[in-house]
């Protein structure tokens, strides 16, 4: 569960402390990266020779100039601000759940702007092809008839919803909000690890992390050209307005949340507030006179666009799960009639399936006539007997994933597993091979993380957010997730991971040092 006290005024109580009014009694001597090691991994800040990468040069130099203890004090100030703002994350599982401060590391990840431009082109290409695929599978299924994607895989995909066959979303766009997870291997190449197209979360923490960084390291942030992320709410609003029903010039927009006990409730409430939308639960909505309406103190008010943060199967108990209390009876009838814009469109979960993911390169060639710009991680499909046999023989070196789980659950990381775990997992694979893929264990890139008063390397991934409306918007950078435990490859917050701000910097930062001394 997340709590939030209001983004615009949230810094007033902590402004002086975070801006640098720190207890200088802890100052002793400058911090150095001399003991930091890249350990053979691709490092986001340093090359193999421990030379700072050009885009991160100023950041590294500034951190080295900070006295020992000061960076830690700023980290503590940021954590206190997170606590006071009520940005906490509820971790489920174990003997009992626990509410924790949103895990944040003060040292940002820096990406070169020219490199990011290439990644962005790859993401744009990918989302266009996936959108074609989703539309196709709910209409003519040409990609199946032409033998590119096996029909049985499509029919057995948990995210394929027969009730969505024939749907016509506004402008033919299904995938309005996407969060595609990226990783780097040892050679620095970006790979797409998976796509999230139903209710991708995490963008609110990008915004929160950026606000923290502006105040905890202002002497660096204000002197480099970091691409902004603050326009994301505006871009989101523009996209949602673009899918309003025909003839509606000033649409009423609502964000549908499962409720305050949902782990992403903070994000739901923040985004609703930022775009001026109503935050509603299923019980606040009703279908009346052929329209979706929300209950207000002045009676029913029509909703024109619904940004749903509820999974497909819970949207309408008359169409999907009859036991759902999170959705609205009759909602799909309104949507089919063209009297409601819905983001994301129901049925997009078919492309979340990790088996279907393996066919994205084929989708790009089939629909766009192009080669993939941003590669997939090499993937073994366990429904194929020969690839199941290979997976079973090499469990100790592979990562094996279920097709439809999220949050890092249900995964076997072979090199970190025990013999008993592998034997148990092998039985699951043989019982339901369609539900699993396997991939090589990548040497995920690392980034410096503050541990007490020293800096150590931790593995990271990246979740950029893509909005698809009249145009495609790709957030610069996105959410960098960090495996806070030494050697861990699991970055999910629900599994003990944390996050960093991600800076996309245009050009080397040397100019900033020169400007400072001018």
Q: What is the pLDDT of residues 15-34, one digit of tens each?
A: 444 444 444 434 444 557 88
Question: For the chain, what is the mean pLDDT?
Answer: 88
In CATH, 380-440 is 3.30.1490.270? yes
By CB atoms closer than 10 A (0-12, 13-18, 19+), residue 428 is middle
For 454-511, write each residue's pLDDT tens digit: 899 999 999 999 999 999 999 999 999 999 888 888 787 666 689 999 999 996 544 4
How confident is the model at residue 302, as a pLDDT?
Answer: 97
Copy the structure tokens of residue 158: 């948990």
How confident is the model at residue 407, as a pLDDT?
Answer: 55
How confident is the model at residue 96, as a pLDDT?
Answer: 45
How confident is the model at residue 13, as a pLDDT?
Answer: 38
How confident is the model at residue 450, as a pLDDT?
Answer: 92
Q: What percentage of the chain has pLDDT greater than the value 70? A: 88
pLDDT at 93 over 50: yes
Average pLDDT of the segment spanning 288-310: 97
How confident is the model at residue 92, as a pLDDT?
Answer: 54
How confident is the model at residue 509, as a pLDDT?
Answer: 47
What stretch(es) of the chain map to CATH 3.40.50.11290?
114-368
Weakest-pLDDT range from 46-50, 76-80, 358-362: 76-80
Copy the structure tokens of residue 205: 């923490």
Q: Which helix (H) or strand (E) holds 513?
A: helix 510-517
How confident is the model at residue 223, as a pLDDT?
Answer: 87
Q: State the residue for tokens 């960098």.
A: 480
Per-residue pLDDT band at 82 (split at 50, 70, 90): confident
For 116-138, write each residue's pLDDT tens digit: 999 999 999 999 999 999 999 99
**Paired sense of beta strands 253-256 and 278-280, if any:** parallel
Average pLDDT of the segment spanning 141-162: 96
Average pLDDT of the segment spanning 320-334: 96
More confident of the two residues 89 and 366:
366
In CATH, 114-368 is 3.40.1390.20? no
Copy the structure tokens of residue 285: 């909505």
Q: What percentage of the chain has pLDDT greater than the value 90? A: 74
In Å, what is the CA distance from 214 to each residue of 18, 64, 77, 108, 149? 9, 19, 13, 11, 47
pTM of the model: 0.90
Weakest-pLDDT range from 8-22, 39-53, 85-99: 8-22
Per-residue pLDDT band at 516 (split at 50, 70, 90): very low
What stretch(es) of the chain map to CATH 3.30.1490.270?
380-440
CA–CA distance, 458 with 71 (Å, rounded to integer): 18
3-state DSSP of 224-288? CCECCCCCHHHHHHHHHHHCCCCCCCCCCEEEECCCCCCCCHHHHHHHHHHHCCEEECHHHEEEE
Q: CA torsion, points 39, 44, 46, 52, in degrees to nearest 10?
A: -170
């Amino acid at each position: 569960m997340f709590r939030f006290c209001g983004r615009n005024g949230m810094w007033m109580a902590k402004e002086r402390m975070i801006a640098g009014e720190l207890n200088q009694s802890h100052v002793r001597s400058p911090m150095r990266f001399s003991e930091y090691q890249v350990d053979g991994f691709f490092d986001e800040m340093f090359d193999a020779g421990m030379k700072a990468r050009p885009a991160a040069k100023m950041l590294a130099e500034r951190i080295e100039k900070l006295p020992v203890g000061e960076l830690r004090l700023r980290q503590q100030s940021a954590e206190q601000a997170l606590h006071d703002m009520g940005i906490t994350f509820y971790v489920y599982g174990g003997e009992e759940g626990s509410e924790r401060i949103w895990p944040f590391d003060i040292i940002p990840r820096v990406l070169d702007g020219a490199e990011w431009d290439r990644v962005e082109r790859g993401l744009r290409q990918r989302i266009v092809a996936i959108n074609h695929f989703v539309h196709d599978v709910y209409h003519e299924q040409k990609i199946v008839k032409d033998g590119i994607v096996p029909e049985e895989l499509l029919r057995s995909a948990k995210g394929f919803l027969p009730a969505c066959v024939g749907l016509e979303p506004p402008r033919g766009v299904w995938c309005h909000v996407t969060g595609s997870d990226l990783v780097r291997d040892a050679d620095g190449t970006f790979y797409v690890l998976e796509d999230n197209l139903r209710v991708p979360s995490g963008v609110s923490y990008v915004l929160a992390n950026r606000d923290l960084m502006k105040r905890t390291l202002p002497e660096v942030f204000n002197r480099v050209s970091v691409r902004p992320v603050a326009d994301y709410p505006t871009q989101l609003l523009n996209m949602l307005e673009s899918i309003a029903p025909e003839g509606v010039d000033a649409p009423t927009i609502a964000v549908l949340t499962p409720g305050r006990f949902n782990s992403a409730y903070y994000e739901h409430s923040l985004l609703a507030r930022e775009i001026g939308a109503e935050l509603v639960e299923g019980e606040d909505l009703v279908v009346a006179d052929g329209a979706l309406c929300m209950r207000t103190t002045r009676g029913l008010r029509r909703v024109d666009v619904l940004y749903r943060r509820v999974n497909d199967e819970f949207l309408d108990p008359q169409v999907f799960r009859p036991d759902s209390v999170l959705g609205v009876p009759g909602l799909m009838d309104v949507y089919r009639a063209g009297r409601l814009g819905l983001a994301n469109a129901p049925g997009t979960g078919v492309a979340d399936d990790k088996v279907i993911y393996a066919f994205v390169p084929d989708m790009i060639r089939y629909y766009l006539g192009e080669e993939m710009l941003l590669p997939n991680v090499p993937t073994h499909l366990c429904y194929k007997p020969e690839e199941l046999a290979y997976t079973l023989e090499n469990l100790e070196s592979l990562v094996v994933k279920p097709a439809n789980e999220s949050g890092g659950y249900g995964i076997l990381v072979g090199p970190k597993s025990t013999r008993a775990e592998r034997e148990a997992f092998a039985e699951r694979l043989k019982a339901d091979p369609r539900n699993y893929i396997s991939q090589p264990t990548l040497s995920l890139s690392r980034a410096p993380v503050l541990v007490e008063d020293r800096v150590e390397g931790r593995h990271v991934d990246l979740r950029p957010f893509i909005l698809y409306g009249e145009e495609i918007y790709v957030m610069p950078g996105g959410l960098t997730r960090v495996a806070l435990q030494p050697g861990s490859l699991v970055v999910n917050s629900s599994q003990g991971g944390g996050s960093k701000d991600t800076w996309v910097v245009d050009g080397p930062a040397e100019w900033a040092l020169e400007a400072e001394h001018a």
